[in-house]
Structures are given as C-alpha cells and as structure tokens.
Structure 1
Amino acid sequence: MDPTHRPTSHIAFFNIPAHGHVNPTLGTVAELVRRGHRVSYAAPAEFGPQVRAAGATLVPYETTLPASDRVEDWPSDDPVAMSRLALDEAIAILPGQLRAFDGDRPDLVLHDFGALTGRLLAHRWRVPVICLASTHVSAAGPEERRARQEMFEEHFADDPRWAEYRRRFREFLDDAGIALSIDDYTGLPERCLVPMPREFQIDGDAVDGRYAFVGPCLGQRGHQGEWRAPVDDRPVLLVALGSAGSGQPGFYREVVAAFTGTPWHVVLATGTLDPALLGPLPPNVEQHRSVPQLAVLERASAFITHGGMGSVLEAMHHGVPMVAVPQVNDQHLNAERLVELGLGRHVPLDKATAARLRDAVSFVASDSGVAARTAAIAQRMRRLGGAVTAADLIEFVLHGPREHWQDHVARLEGGLGRGDAGHAVNGTTVG
C-alpha cells in the first residue's frame, strides 16, 4: 500500500484503568494519528492527559474497579472475586460506551485483554477487532485449554459465586448474540498484538500465528514531565516499584542504605509514599513521586524494578540490565524470565536487604555476559518495529484480506528473522 495514499479510518481503543495497560498503547495511538487516522480512546478521565497527548479523543467512563495503586483493595488471591470484578465492570460501563459511540461507530476496535466490552462492541458493530496483550499470552492448544478449564471448573464446583459468575457472563454474551464460550471469549482472540519479542514470551515457539509479536510500542510521553540527568558521568540507577508498589518504605530505606556513598546516582520513584518516611537523603539519591521513565532509562546503567511487563520491556528496549523485586501477578513470571535469559537478577522482596541489592546491581551492571545479552535483545526489539509494525498490522486488518492475518504475521516474523537472545541462559536468583 502506498503510504502517501492510505485511506483513513476511525479506530477505537478500549482499555482498563491501569497505567501499566494504558501507557504501552500510547505509541501505537500516536503512530495511527500520525498516519491520519482518527482515534477514540475509552478510559477513565484520569488517563485524559496521556491519551490526549498521544493525539486521541478521550471517551471517558466511570470505573467500578478499585484504584490501581491500592493493592490491598484487589482480591488478587481470589480468582473468582477477580473474575467477578472484571465482569461487573463490563456490565456497568457497556451502556455508556454504546451511547458514546452511537452515530459515530468505529471502523475497527482494539481492546486490552481485560477490557471485556471491546470484543462485544466490535461484534455488535460488525467491525474487525484486534486484542492488545499487556503480558504473556497462552501457548496452550485446544486440548490443554480444555483440560485446564475442566480442572478449574472442578476446583470451584462448590463455590456458588463461581456458578453465578458463569451464569451472568453467559447472559452478557447471549444478549449480544455471541455464541463463543466464555473461555474462548476471554482467552482466545481472533488476532492479537503482543508488545514483546517472541523470545521473552513463555513457550514462545508454541504460540500460534494469531499472536503478532511486535515489540514495545513506545512513544513520546511529555505528560510525564522532564528529568534532569546528572552533569557528570556517574552511573544512574533507577528504582521504581510501579504505581502499586509505593507502600514499601522499608524497601526504599534498604535501597538508600545500599547506595549511600557509592558512585551511583540513584533515582527513586516512590509513588504516593510520604517522603518523610525515608528521612534525609544523601546527595547521590533523588526522590520523586514519579519520573519520566523512558527518559531516565536512556541514561540508566541498571534498574531495580517490580518486574511489571511495561517496565521490563522499556528497560529491555534501552538495553538496561535489571534487578527484579516482584510482588504480584505476572511480575514473578517476568523475574524468572529475566533470570532464564540472563538479562538480570531476581531478589525476593522479603530478602531485599541493602547488601543483596547492592551485590545484585553490581553484578548486572558489570557482567560482560549480561551486557552482551541485553544489547542483543535491545537490537532485536528495535528491529521488530513496535508502534510502526503494530500500525501496519492494524491497517492490514482494515484494508487487507482479514482471513490471511496468520499468513501475514508469519511473513512479517520471517522477514525480521528470529532473534537468538532466547538461547543465552545465564541468570542467577539471589535468594
């Protein structure tokens, strides 16, 4: 397709209220807008600044979910309660989203895996749909998926909440005329963009062609403000546990103790943590509620991270080795994957003493093998294309033969070549 004569379209994004899900999509939004497409973005009003900065029109909705930075309000150890939260959100916001797009229906829908209304709305509007993964996708085939579901059903057979959840979800789909099973609707997209290299995906070689590994879709984030790098050549260490990890004053005190008086210039992003809890900081440590993470990573020599997928991919893109201190959800999987690929170390939160953190950072920042592997996977990720490749695939679905998506994705990966970063395994868990 001649890029100077692309037909333009109205594209709608549907996402959940979490910075770790919204931020990774903004580069793709900006690239679509640059190409002349009109983008509407359904998210709560708090995400307006970054959505508008990327060039999209915010379509706000009132979320029923707990605040993303309040880990204690999320029943993460109760999968039934978590499933019910997601369904309750979808049922509550669906009428407003239908009204918001009444008379201005999009030509294509993109939706986060957790945004349960996206696929339903695309079905109602009879437009193509693409799922956006925010973490690892499932490599399970039909038999394995069926066996897992049977095991899940058996495990929760005596829980009346589970039966009620399934009944309400089936009603949600039936009302929209969707015959898919609940499990296929939530876990088996028609096509999906995955913002990582296949090498980082768990069992990546087994994931089929409905999933396109495009790499991180980064873009400008002027809404995050600026950061002034040190004027000398001191190595920069970024420390950030994400929006949900700010309630860890003890951890940050260990970090300060670990690097006081060292050559490291330490940048702490501590979220809502009261700065007074850390006391006076040494001259080589600066504390912020949040930082423009991409700008800091451009200068960083190491990164202590919670292991959220967005942060991990941003660091990999910049070739920055990591020390992962995971807390919830996929962070533990990402920490293990970093170790397996020799891209960093894993320090459990309950063992994150000053000495262990200092040793882990020293290792990842000085080991030649880690340096070689981080450089290799950074090069691979940049070749994948990120937002440009994602936009190309979106336009292919808009204007190409939709039934040939998997063939197109296979040709794309073949043209880019398969990286070898996944074959270098030399990591160590600090336990």
Structure 2
Amino acid sequence: MNVLMVNLPFSGHTNPTLPLTAKLVEAGHKVTYVNAPEFREKIEHTGATFVPYKDYPENASEKYKKNHSFVAAYDTAISLKEKFDILIYEMFFYPGIDLAKQLGIPCVRQFSQPAWNDTTWKEAPTVFKISAKLIDMQVLPKKVAKNKGFSNLCLKDGITKSKPNLNIVYIPKQFQNKSEEFDDSYLYVIPKPAVISGNVVIPYEKMKSPIVYISLGSILSDKSFYKKCIKAFGGKEVSVILNTGNVSPDILGKIPENIYAYSFVPQIEVFSHTDVFLTHCGMNSINEALCFGVPMVAMPFINDQVTNANQLVNLGIAKRIHSFVQNTNEIYATVMEVAASSVMKEKAIEMKKAIDNQMTWESIVRRIEDLV
C-alpha cells in the first residue's frame, strides 16, 4: 500500500499522527508525508519519506504558517507525480477530502482533538466558535477556498459536513462528547506517550506530597501567572514542578525551596510522579496525564481547550478555575481540593484502565488496509 499523508505545520496537529505513520511503515507500507521543513526530522524518524512544501521557507514565522500552509500543503500534494493508494490527513487540513477526490483515492481523517459533528458544534462554547471563525480568516479565506474549488468554504463545514469512510480520533472514547452520535467509522486510540529525555534532573526524592505539576503547554507562556503560582504555593506543604516554557525561571525572582521551576521538563517522567496537574487543557497534555491516571485543575484559554476543560469536569476528573485567574488563593485552594479528592483520583485511574484496554494499532492498520 502506497500511503500519502498530508498535514499542517503545527505540533498539536502533527505529533499525534506520528505513531500511526510509524505503524504503517512497520507493517510494510510505503508512507510519503507532506509537511513543513521543521518536521522533517520527526517524520523521517518514523521511517516515512518526507516531502517539504513547495516554495516554502525553512524557518517560517507563525504568521506565515497560518497564512500560507493550507495552500502550500494542498498544492504540494497535487503536484506529486507518484500514484498513491490512499490519503491520510488531519482534521485541521479539512480540504483533505477534496484532495482525495482530485487524486481519485479513498481517504482517512485523523482528529488530534475530540471529533466534531453538528451537535457538538451547536453545543460548543462561544469562544470555541469565535476561535474557529478567526482561524478561518487567517488560514484559508473563503475566496481562496472557492478559487481552489473546495466543497466547503470554512473550517466548521469542512469538518462537520465531510465524512471519510474512516476517522481516527486521538482521545479515549469516554472523552468524546456525544459519542453515541459517532458510528463505528470513528476509531479511538491514544498514542503511547514517548519519553523525551533532556538535561534536567528533577530531585523527586526531596519532594513532599502532594506533587503538583503546572504547565501551559509549548505555545502559551505567562510570566505573571508563574509569579502567581510561586506566591500561591511558596512555603506551603506541597511540592510544585513549574514548567515555565519560553519564560526563564531566572526572571521570576526568588523561588521558594518547595517550587522547582524549569523552562523544560521531561513531561512523561514528571507525570509518573504527579498527584495533580494544572493545565491549559491542550489535548496532547490531557492525553498524557490520563495515561498516568492524574486528576487535573483545568485552566483553558482558547480553541478546543475550553471544550476539553468542560469535558474533564463532566467526567469528574478535574475542577476548573478562571482562565485569567487573579486570586492566588483560588489557585491554591482548587489544587488542594483536587489533591484531597479520592473520587477524582479513582475516576482518573478508571480512565487510565480504559486507555490501557483501547483498540490496538494493528487493528487500526487493518481497517485502513480494508479501504484500499
């Protein structure tokens, strides 16, 4: 089977697709993966053949990515002379179904977040809908989509009104809102978290329980929030591992002994020691925490984060705090409430067990093969 994979140059949409890429190669299939140059190393590590976007800079700015990657991905895939048997694309690249029709081949869609349909869209928070419309304006204006002949002219319609024969959703099925409305063409699996080593050695043996891990992900960084965390937890009977991302811990002032601040942490290793995770609710971070049965404090900001936070609360795995929290007492009190909750811990462990018993990659590869 000769597989074409096409994606956009955003970590949250690319990283979840790499385990399937590796499994397809492992099963003996040839995979050609179209993406931006910055993902070459990760993609080639799976054994796939990497194809960079045509006429696209090596170090594109975030603005350039948003404004040009959709068209670059589509045009590059169309230009390939090789004959492919199947196309696999990620949901954000919603013209994928049109690309497959152009190439005359079946397609598979991957979701890096919970799947969408008309019902989940209608029930989505207003901030989620606004974010989707703002993304539309940036990444693929309707005029461009119309000129390309795409069947859907916006992100919402491209996802809810198009449905390939197979959809792979990278979340636990229990996490899918309105799961009863999604038929058996939707397969749920969480890629096993990969341990990323680094130079940071975290002294877990010195830490007092509970151990709290705080991270706003790879994109968000907020110096004032990190300072609030230091004020909230400093000197208390709790240990905090603070991932400051793009903010250097050196500019946060005096850091108390019970707070361990790093600009990079080996997150998978940290989760094996964590009692409570305070998160911005990106799906990758949620999945990794769920794989270790860690309950959470949800502090979402944009896009799917708000929906993810609501679902965590609905499942009894998290408590939510204000997105732009001002009160340090709220941060501390909510974290300690979750840490003391045996019910939340039990529900998080139940989710971990469900993930451990999820569908196998071999079964998913066979379902893809059946389409060809």
Same fold (TM over 0.5): yes
1:308-319 matches, within 5 Å, as: 308-319=282-293
User: How many equivalent residue pairs?
Assistant: 350
What is the aligned counterpart of 1:109 among 74, 81, 87? 87
**Whole-Å separation in 1 of the counterparts to 2:337 and 2:269:** 23
TM-score, normalised to structure 2, is: 0.82
SS of equivalent residue, structure 1 residue 281: coil
Q: Does 1:95 align with 2:95?
A: no
1:59-98 matches, within 5 Å, as: 59-61=51-53, 62=56, 67=61, 89-98=69-78
Closer, same or farther in 2 for the Cα pair 1:295/1:210, shift >3 Å? same
TM-score, normalised to structure 1, is: 0.72
Output the amino acid matched with 1:102. K
Output the amino acid matched with 1:314. E
What is the aligned counterpart of 1:30 among 22, 31, 37? 22
TM-superposed deviation, 1:358: 1.5
Output the amino acid matched with 1:98. I
What is the aligned counterpart of 1:350 among 298, 314, 324? 324
Identity %: 25
Q: Does 1:228 align with 2:206?
A: no
SS of equivalent residue, structure 2 residue 176: coil
Contact kept? 2:8, 2:69, Cα under 8 Å = no
**Whole-Å separation in 1 of the counterparts to 2:282 and 2:49:** 27
**Whole-Å separation in 1 of the counterparts to 2:357 and 2:172:** 10
**Whole-Å separation in 2 of the counterparts to 1:249 and 1:296:** 22
Specify the alignment match of 1:424 in structure 2: none
What is the aligned counterpart of 1:118 among 50, 72, 96? 96
CA-to-partner distance for each residue in 1:148-171, whole Å, 9 max, x for gaps?
Answer: xxxx9xxx9xxxx89x94454233
SS of equivalent residue, structure 2 residue 9: coil
What is the aligned counterpart of 1:200 among 147, 156, 175? 175
Specify the alignment match of 2:125 in structure 1: none
**Whole-Å separation in 2 of the counterparts to 1:193 and 1:102:** 27
SS of equivalent residue, structure 1 residue 209: coil
**Whole-Å separation in 2 of the counterparts to 1:102 and 1:258:** 59
Instruction: Specify every segment of 5 or more residues in structure 2 that has no aligned partner in the other structure, as ranges.
Output: 123-128
CA-to-partner distance for each residue in 1:345-392, whole Å, 9 max, x for gaps?
Answer: 11113225322111111121221110111011111122113xx33x53
1:291-310 matches, within 5 Å, as: 291-310=265-284
Closer, same or farther in 2 for the Cα pair 1:49/1:227, shift >3 Å? farther
Instruction: Specify every segment of 5 or more residues in structure 1 that has no aligned partner in the other structure, as ranges.
Output: 1-8, 75-81, 146-151, 175-179, 403-431
CA-to-partner distance for each residue in 1:188-229, whole Å, 9 max, x for gaps?
Answer: 2212111112321122222233322x231134354x636534
1:269-284 matches, within 5 Å, as: 269-284=243-258
Output the amino acid matched with 1:373. K
**Whole-Å separation in 2 of the counterparts to 1:283 and 1:93:** 48
Specify the alignment match of 1:397 in structure 2: 368
Contact kept? 2:290, 2:348, Cα under 8 Å = yes
Specify the alignment match of 1:252 in structure 2: 226
**Whole-Å separation in 2 of the counterparts to 1:65 and 1:136:** 30
Q: Does 1:21 align with 2:1?
A: no
**Whole-Å separation in 1 of the counterparts to 2:118 and 2:301:** 25
**Whole-Å separation in 2 of the counterparts to 1:10 and 1:299:** 42
Closer, same or farther in 2 for the Cα pair 1:43/1:165, shift >3 Å? closer
After superposition, the CA RMSD in angstroms is: 3.2
